[in-house]
């Protein structure tokens, strides 16, 4: 059983640019959630995808968007980057979206720096 992987590990962008972060979920997991973790803080929920459809969103603007593909991979896209978008971005996969009982397994994260 493979774990959750993310790419790239680090990324440096300029304000106003667009970025795509990638995640490969654990095999068989239909749900992927994305979190933003600012330095010294706990992760904040961005959104969740279940079977390729958005299944819930946190308090993030529409310039944060995502995609989920049938092969258990997913993307987080951020347009018009702002300095405050600098953070660690984590994806987490889980078997199902419904029950609160389902455990989320995290990838190693992508560190995004916006200059």
Partner 1 sequence: AQTVTQSQPEMSVQEAETVTLSCTYDTSESDYYLFWYKQPPSRQMILVIRQEAYKQQNATENRFSVNFQKAAKSFSLKISDSQLGDAAMYFCAYPYSGAGSYQLTFGKGTKLSVIP
- Would you tell me which residues interact with partner 1 (CB under 8 A)? 33, 35, 40-45, 48, 50, 55-58, 88, 90, 92, 97-109, 111
Q: How far is the CB of 98 from partner 1 (least distance, A)?
A: 8
**Contact between residue 68 and residue 24 where contact means Cβ atoms under 8 Å apart:** no
Q: How far is the CB of 9 from partner 1 (least distance, A)?
A: 9
Q: How far is the CB of 21 from partner 1 (least distance, A)?
A: 14
85 φ/ψ angles, rounded to the nearest 5 degrees: -80, -10
Cα–Cα separations (whole angstroms), residue 95 to 32, 72, 84, 111: 9, 11, 32, 26
- Judged by beta carbon, residue 10 or residue 14, the one nearer partner 1 is 10
User: In angstroms, rounded to a whole number, what is the distance separating the alpha carbons of residues 90 and 106?
Assistant: 7
């Amino acid at each position: 059983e493979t774990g959750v992987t993310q790419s790239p590990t680090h990324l440096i962008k300029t304000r106003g640019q667009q970025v795509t972060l990638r995640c490969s979920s654990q095999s068989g997991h239909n749900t992927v959630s994305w979190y933003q973790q600012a330095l010294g803080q706990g992760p904040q929920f961005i959104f969740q995808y279940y079977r390729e459809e958005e299944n819930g969103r946190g308090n993030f603007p529409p310039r944060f968007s995502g995609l989920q593909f049938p092969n258990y991979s997913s993307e987080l896209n951020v347009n018009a980057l702002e300095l405050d978008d600098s953070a660690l971005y984590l994806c987490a996969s889980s078997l199902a979206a419904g029950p609160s009982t389902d455990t989320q397994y995290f990838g190693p994260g992508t560190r995004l720096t916006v200059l």
